[in-house]
């Protein structure tokens, strides 16, 4: 039997909105979540002052104090996003066969906030003051584990760590587990919470993040000639994936069908993408080939589009390498222009944005695209566009040269 994978629930927790309706409204309105963050994070000695935080998040609105204290902010985000996705899917886990429901959730770094806070405690107060929850809180796989514990899900459960491609890999792999027959349903996506001093220090020393401190909302400018680095964000994006017949049997609303997944590696440099975009092109080409959809049939591409000089050029080359002349007719946009770069969670939130674009026939703009770059010469959608979208791609590329692409189609 041909097992098809569909999306039935969307749970975004982002710098511009929590929940499907709020996130989509802000995305369509072109609202930016980038702002000064030095009023909440000690950035002394660091020449970056901006980020895209999730504002007004109180874990006690969603869980008791004891649970909140035992888990990292990234796991808190993931639990909330999972709840949102399950509500959107009108799915009650206790009504499912727990062994047939899996959890595959990615993160780029894991509990970095926990690591930073515990290191300070160790230095200032000694090892006996280190929390016994330190190791369980920092583990990247703890995020998926906490979701399983919350809902009693006993199927395959693991974390995916592939830098900024983590969530996209997680969604694609979860889809493959369903397609193979191992699962009927999966919680998949990513979560990240690393707006902390040590992360800012590290990325700033690399020269990877924007220093446009005086104009925060204009700092994330994918594909623009004046781009100077990405803007760090935080949040989570969780999807509910189901085998199609399983979803239809319970009368679920189907948001989209996941018809293609591709992954590859540049095998060239630990942080810089291959200049010719060959590895990224391979991942996109594999997603297309496995779906049986020709490049000419793609209506929209949600780009990785980080706003870094190297990545945006390499992604442009990758798109040209796969689409050829059709690349110039393709609508492309980067939601990172509004929400910043959520690192390991980026692919989850961007998959949600891609699916909502299909559902509503609307392509959000790439904000701040003002100065064309001759090396990035495609259509990056500087203004939002209404159009029918039947098929759409979502790209994610990460440090380590790790590339992933997802292809979604309007449900039949």
Q: What is each CA distance from 155 to 74, 103, 244, 263, in whole angstroms?
A: 22, 7, 18, 24
Q: Say how many C-beta atoms besides its own lie within 10 A of residue 253's C-beta.
A: 13
Active site residue 360: no
Residues 217 and 300 in one domain: no
Across the chain, which has 412 residues, the per-10-residue mean pLDDT values are 92 98 98 97 98 96 96 98 98 94 98 97 97 97 98 98 98 98 98 98 97 98 98 98 97 98 97 96 98 97 98 98 97 98 98 98 98 98 98 98 98 92
CATH (domain of 181): 3.40.47.10
Residues 137 and 268 in one domain: no
Residue 281 is part of which domain span?
A: 264-402
Asked if residue 255 is part of any domain, the answer here is no
Asked if residue 411 is part of any domain, the answer here is no
Residues 71 and 140 in one domain: yes
Cα gap 346→222, rounded to integer Å: 14
Active site residue 164: yes
- C-beta of residue 302 within 8 angstroms of C-beta of residue 395: yes
- C-beta of residue 342 within 8 angstroms of C-beta of residue 234: yes
Per-residue pLDDT at 207: 96
Largest CA distance in the chain: 63
Active site residue 185: no
- C-beta of residue 80 within 8 angstroms of C-beta of residue 62: yes
Which letter, b or e, does each residue of 342-373 get, where b requires 16 or more Cβ atoms within 10 Å of its Cβ?
bbbbbbbbbbbbbbbbbbeebbbbbbbbeeeb
Asked if residue 410 is part of any domain, the answer here is no
3-class DSSP assignment, residue 354: helix
Phi and psi at residue 398, in whole multiples of 5°? -130, 160
Q: Catalytic: which of 169, 185, 246, 341? A: 341
Identify the CA nearest to 222 among candidates 284, 308, 149: 308
- Domain ends where: 217, 249, 281? 249
Q: Catalytic: which of 164, 169, 246, 376? A: 164
H or E segment and range at residue 279? helix 278-291
Cα gap 139→68, rounded to integer Å: 16
Query: Which residues lie closer than 8 Å to 214 by C-beta, 6 or more apart?
Result: none
- Domain ends where: 249, 276, 295? 249
Residues 169 and 203 in one domain: yes
Residues 301 and 181 in one domain: no
Residues 211 and 99 in one domain: yes
Per-residue pLDDT at 402: 98
Per-residue pLDDT at 262: 98
Q: Catalytic: which of 169, 246, 304, 376? A: 304
pTM: 0.98
Per-residue pLDDT at 1: 54
């Amino acid at each position: 039997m041909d097992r098809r994978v569909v999306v039935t629930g969307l749970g975004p927790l982002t710098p511009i909105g929590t929940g499907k309706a709020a996130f989509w409204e802000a995305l369509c309105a072109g609202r930016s979540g980038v702002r000064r963050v030095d009023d909440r994070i000690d950035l002394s000695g660091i020449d970056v002052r901006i980020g895209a935080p999730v504002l007004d998040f109180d874990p006690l609105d969603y869980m008791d104090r004891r649970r909140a204290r035992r888990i990292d902010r990234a796991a808190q985000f993931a639990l909330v996003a999972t709840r949102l996705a399950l509500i959107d899917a009108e799915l009650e886990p206790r009504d499912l066969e727990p062994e047939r429901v899996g959890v595959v959730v990615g993160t780029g770094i894991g509990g970095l906030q926990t690591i930073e806070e515990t290191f300070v405690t160790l230095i200032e107060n000694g090892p006996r003051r280190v929390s016994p929850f330190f190791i369980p809180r920092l583990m990247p796989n703890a995020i998926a584990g906490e979701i399983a514990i919350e809902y009693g899900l006993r199927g395959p459960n693991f974390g995916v760590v592939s830098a900024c491609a983590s969530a996209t890999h997680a969604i694609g792999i979860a889809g493959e587990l369903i397609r193979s027959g191992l699962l009927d349903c999966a919680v998949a996506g990513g979560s990240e919470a690393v707006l902390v001093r040590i992360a800012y220090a590290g990325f700033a020393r690399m020269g990877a993040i924007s220093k446009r401190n005086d104009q925060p909302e204009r700092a994330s400018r994918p594909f623009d000639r004046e781009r100077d680095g990405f803007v760090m964000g935080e949040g989570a994006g969780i999807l509910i994936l189901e085998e199609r017949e399983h979803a239809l049997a319970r009368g679920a609303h189907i948001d989209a069908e996941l018809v293609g997944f591709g992954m590859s590696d540049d095998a060239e440099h630990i942080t810089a993408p291959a200049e010719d975009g060959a590895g990224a092109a391979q991942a996109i080409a594999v997603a297309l080939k496995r779906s049986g959809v020709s490049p000419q049939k793609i209506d929209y591409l949600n780009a990785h589009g980080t706003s870094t000089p190297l990545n945006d050029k390499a992604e442009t080359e990758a798109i040209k390498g796969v689409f050829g002349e059709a690349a110039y007719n393709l609508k492309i946009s980067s939601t990172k222009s509004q929400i910043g770069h959520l690192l390991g969670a980026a692919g989850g939130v961007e998959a949600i944005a891609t699916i909502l674009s299909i559902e509503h026939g609307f392509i959000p703009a790439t904000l701040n695209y003002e100065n064309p770059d001759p090396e990035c010469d495609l259509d990056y959608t500087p203004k939002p566009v209404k159009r029918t979208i039947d098929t759409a791609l979502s790209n994610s590329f990460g440090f380590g040269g790790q590339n992933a692409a997802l292809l979604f189609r309007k449900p039949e």
